[in-house]
Amino acid sequence: MRFGVLALQGDVREHAAAAAAAGAEPVLVRVAEDLDGLDALAIPGGESTTIGKLAERYGLVEPLRTAIESGLPTLGTCAGMIFLAAGTTEARPQVQLGVLDVVVRRNAFGSQVASFEADIDVVGIPDPVRAVFIRAPWIEKVGAGVEVLAEVEGHPVMVREGNIVATSFHPELTGDPRVHTLLLHMRGRA
Ligand code: GLN
């Protein structure tokens, strides 16, 4: 199975390694054609404003929207979640795909020094998941079709809407491929 990793900015290598650990072939996505024939897609963390700008520059915004809306199982982590979302709590607009019906609060858990790790319960994964939060957003508002899969301090940090899974944290940094595996199991079932 081919697991695409959007390779514009952020922790691309770690997602490629997690995809491989989940048993898939990692495929770096830099141009629209790279989306052809994928079974799943990961959008890494990094800086969401930069990812948005680069996606626009490389003509990837519409192709990504089309691929995701037509059912490609897609995982967005941290900045990747922000990029997938419908909006942020900030006044300043940024490029977002708007395919995930949530509003996110960027850097909600504090600044870089406030980064932290926690073992969290995730709906659909039997044992706790070690979650690394780095300048992490939380989800401020969820739309009607969005299922909350995990929370920290009462704030949603992992959600699913149809073929899209988004995390505030970085499942690609812990050597535990279960979140990526979840995506591969969603294939053809969106
Ligand atoms: N704070 C970043 C943003 O708002 C996200 C941080 C991350 O992806 N680790 O885009």
Question: Which tokens sit at 66?
Answer: 């089309």
105 lines ligand 1 (CB under 6 A): no
The pairing of strands 164-167 and 155-161 is antiparallel
Examine the residue annotation and report whether 185 is marked as an active-site residue of this protein: no
45 lines ligand 1 (CB under 6 A): yes
Domains of the chain by start residue, with CATH? 2-186 (3.40.50.880)
Q: What is the pLDDT of residue 190?
A: 46
What spacing in Å lies between the alpha carbon of 62 and ligand 1's midpoint? 22
What spacing in Å lies between the alpha carbon of 46 and ligand 1's midpoint? 5
Q: What is the pLDDT of residue 113?
A: 67
One DSSP character per residue, the chain reads -EEEEE-SSSSHHHHHHHHHHTT-EEEEE-SGGGGTT-SEEEE--S-HHHHHHHHHHTT-HHHHHHHHHTT--EEEETHHHHHHEEEESSSS-------EEEEEETTTT-SGGG-EEEEEEETTEEEEEEEEESS--EEEEE-TTPEEEEEETTEEEEEEETTEEEESS-GGGSS-THHHHHHHHHTT--
What spacing in Å lies between the alpha carbon of 93 and ligand 1's midpoint? 15
- Per-residue pLDDT tens listing for the chain (190 residues): 999 999 999 999 999 999 999 999 999 999 999 999 999 999 999 999 999 999 999 999 999 999 999 999 999 999 999 999 999 999 999 999 999 999 999 999 876 667 999 999 999 999 999 999 999 999 999 999 999 999 999 999 999 999 999 999 999 999 999 999 999 999 765 4
Listed in sequence order, the residues at least 6 apart from 93 whose beta carbon sits closer than 8 Å to its beta carbon are: none
Distance set, CA 131 to CA 31, 86, 124 (Å): 30, 24, 15
Question: Which tokens sit at 29?
Answer: 């996505």
pTM summary value = 0.96
Largest CA distance in the chain: 41
Type of residue found at 162: G
Q: How far apart are CA 176 and CA 94, in angstroms?
A: 31
Q: What is the pLDDT of residue 94?
A: 98
